[in-house]
Amino acid sequence: MHDAPPPLFRTWPRMYAAVVAWLVLMIVLFDLFTRSFNR
Amino acid sequence: MRAIDWLVMACALSGVILYGLWRARGSNTTEKFLLANKTMPWYAMALSIMATQASAVTFISTTGQSYVDGMRFVQFYFGLPLAMVVVAAVVVPRFLSSGVYTAYEYLERRFDAKTRSLVSALFLLSRGLAAGVTLAAPAVVMTAILGWPEEWTTIGVGMVVIAYTVTGGISAITWADFVQMLIMTAGLAAALLSAVLLLPRDVSFSDAIAVAGAAGRLNPITWQFNPNDQFNIWSGLLGGMFLMLAYFGCDQSQVQRYLTGKSIAQSRLSLLFNAVAKVPMQFSILFIGAMVFVFFTFEKPPVLFNPVALARAEKKTEFAGVRAAYDKAFAARRAAALALSDAPDTVQAFKSAQKDLDATRRQAATLASDGVKPVVDTNFIFLTFVTRHLPAGLVGLLLAAIFGAAMSVSSAEVNSLATVTVIDVYKRHWNRDGDDRHYLRASQWATVFWALFAVGTAQLVKNLGSLVVVVNLLGSFFYGGLLGVFALAFFFPRVKGTAAFTAVLCGEAAIFAAWKFTSMAFLWYNVVGCAVVVAVGLGMSALRDPDST
């Protein structure tokens, strides 16, 4: 398959979902960072 | 600048250019010159996309922004991963399988020639002027900090860009960007390490975090929505997504990066790499700004970082009083910062000293402004730190990264402007029967023209500082219409050419009205423009052919 996504994700929609999940994780971590350190 | 810094800078920048030219040897057809024969792997496109987005101003003003306002600017990038997913899923397969050279060429296949010409003209106008600002903005800061004549930096960067874009085309640009991004990453890592290692011996990293936190600089998340403030999570997700959709999906200076991909999958991966990497990268750059703030809590910074403004303020008789108040506030803040780790209840003392210090800086800025020009200090903070406090060698590395950033943006701009000029204007309207060699020559001459145009505009812009505002405003005027017409093209197959053409004009009129009659933040122009274009396009299609929508 010339246009297949990386084997880890198998399909493109799964890869897109992983990117969105990554964004959500970043937001959660940044929020934790703000609550822990910002005064 | 010491000899070793000049050496590091010269080696880094010539390495960037020579590697780009070496990888691009044999760019002797139009397709190779403009699309690299569609052979690019995902990692080269990914770093080129990243380098094209990261300008010299991003580098120096993002760190400064964090110094004065904290890390909340990172939220502006939260819309980027969402936009990248949409561009990868919807835009990439359509552009690549249709075999177009420019995004606007696609519009003629989908709509008609007049829509293509209108959108190409909007792009050439806004991006052509922006290319001048790309060169002028860093030159102003470099001149003030390093004392180099402004003409040297704008003409110097312009000529270097001509040298490798005219000979190597997009292959040279992409591979030069690839190396430039590696240098930029090394420079940023060096700046972060230096800011932490240069702290006083008895101030640990966790003390530094406590100081930055007490100053309210560690605030990457703001949940409170405010439509006139683009730095909260909701503005970032929605407004940021529309802006990034227009930038990565409709602006030829970015689209051309991923049109060179050897397959749809490779182009998609280059965009998704940025979707994953850009938010942490911006977080890191902003964190450097917060650490530079901590550094200047213990090492006394100048009252104003902009040396030209400071010299103006120092001539005023009132300045002696301001300086005395500044020195007192700095000493109080330093003492409070040192006490923070032992006695956390000194946060209030720190905050009130910080408030006094900010007040004296505002007074100095007012003195320097002569009541006319407001003083911009943010862009001078990072370079002051770099040139006065970094060890020898690293100054050269950081300056190479900043010049490299200016070159990567400028080369993408002149290359995409030349492509649209030749493909969408010259070949389409003036000379349809030339051979490949003819269009290759035309592309090279168009590249020279736009680079010289950018250098010329840069000279005008820096003499009229307010022009920068006008050019940036123009840029935010056109993205909404651009985004709307591509939304019609991709999602509403029944909408035809005349409806799309009229819809773009209505969308631009709506944005102009929003600017004229409302105090809406620029960020929302893209949303308004796009919505009006889609609504008018659908409405006209329904009126002409009631069964069509």
Nearest CA-CA distance, residue A15 and chain B, Å:
9
Size of interface A-B (CB pairs under 8 A): 69
pLDDT at B371: 67
B214–A30 C-beta distance less than 8 A: no
Candidate from A2, A5, A23 with C-beta closest to B279: A23
Task: Flag whether residue A31 sits within 8 Å of chain B, measured between CB atoms.
Answer: yes
Please give the Cα distance from B290 to B210 (Å, whole number).
11
Counting beta carbons within 10 angstroms of the beta carbon of residue A29, is it exposed (0 to 12), middle (13 to 18) or buried (19 or more)? middle
Give the chain B residue nearest A36 (alpha carbons): B213
A15–B221 C-beta distance less than 8 A: no
Please give the Cα distance from B388 to B385 (Å, whole number).
6
Percentage of chain B with pLDDT > 90? 50
pLDDT at A14: 85
Give the chain B residue nearest A34 (alpha carbons): B219
pLDDT at B463: 63
| B306 Cβ contact list (under 8 Å, min separation 6) | B144, B368, B375, B376, B377, B379, B380
In chain A, residues with a C-beta closer than 8 Å to the C-beta of B206 are: none
Nearest CA-CA distance, residue B125 and chain A, Å:
34
Give me the mean pLDDT over the B147-151 stretch. Answer: 78
Give me the mean pLDDT over the B488-508 stretch. Answer: 91
pLDDT confidence band for B472 (50 / 70 / 90): low
Q: Is the pLDDT of residue B163 over 50?
A: yes
Q: Is the pLDDT of residue B138 over 90?
A: no
pLDDT at B494: 72
pLDDT confidence band for A1 (50 / 70 / 90): very low
pLDDT at B549: 45
Nearest CA-CA distance, residue A39 and chain B, Å:
5
In chain B, residues with a C-beta closer than 8 Å to the C-beta of A22 are: 81, 275-276
Please give the Cα distance from B44 to B217 (Å, whole number).
35
Give me the mean pLDDT over the B83-91 stretch. Answer: 95
Task: Flag whether residue A34 sits within 8 Å of chain B, measured between CB atoms.
Answer: yes
A20–B85 C-beta distance less than 8 A: yes
C-beta separation of B182 from B19 below 8 A: no
Task: Return the minimum-mean-pLDDT range out of B33-37, B164-168, B374-378, B401-405.
Answer: B374-378
| B156-B159-B164 Cα angle (round to 5) | 125
Give the chain A residue nearest B284 (alpha carbons): A30
Q: Which residue type sits at B397?
A: L
Which has the higher per-residue pLDDT, B201 or B154? B154
Give me the mean pLDDT over the B202-230 stretch. Answer: 87
Mean pLDDT of chain B: 88
Give me the mean pLDDT over the A18-29 stretch. Answer: 94
| B56 Cβ contact list (under 8 Å, min separation 6) | B134, B137, B138, B402, B403, B405, B406, B409
Task: Flag whether residue A27 sits within 8 Å of chain B, measured between CB atoms.
Answer: yes
Which tens digit of pLDDT belongs to each residue from B386-441? 988 989 999 999 889 998 999 899 999 999 999 999 999 888 877 767 888 789 97
Q: Is the pLDDT of residue B152 over 80?
A: no
**Best-predicted range by mean pLDDT (B3-7, B21-25, B417-421):** B417-421
Which has the higher per-residue pLDDT, B461 or A15? A15
Give the chain B residue nearest A31 (alpha carbons): B221
C-beta separation of B421 from B33 below 8 A: no
pLDDT confidence band for B249 (50 / 70 / 90): very high
pLDDT confidence band for B467 (50 / 70 / 90): low
Q: List the end-to-end C-alpha distance of chain A, in Å, as a whole number.
A: 52
Q: Is the pLDDT of residue B48 over 90?
A: yes
C-beta separation of B523 from B235 below 8 A: yes
Q: Is the pLDDT of residue A12 over 70?
A: yes
Which tens digit of pLDDT belongs to each residue from B310-359? 997 988 888 999 989 999 899 999 899 988 866 766 787 998 899 898 99
Task: Return the minimum-mean-pLDDT range out of B56-65, B329-338, B524-533.
Answer: B56-65
Q: Print burial letters for B419-439: b (CB count within 10 Å at least 16), e (below 16).
A: bbbbbbbbbbeeeeebeeeeb
pLDDT at B504: 93
pLDDT at B419: 94
Which tens digit of pLDDT belongs to each residue from B357-368? 899 888 898 888
Give me the mean pLDDT over the A2-30 stretch. Answer: 90
pLDDT at A2: 54
Q: Is the pLDDT of residue B464 over 60?
A: no
Please give the Cα distance from B233 to B193 (Å, whole number).
29
Please give the Cα distance from B472 to B133 (Å, whole number).
9
Q: Is the pLDDT of residue B184 over 60?
A: yes
Residue B530 has what DSSP assignment? H
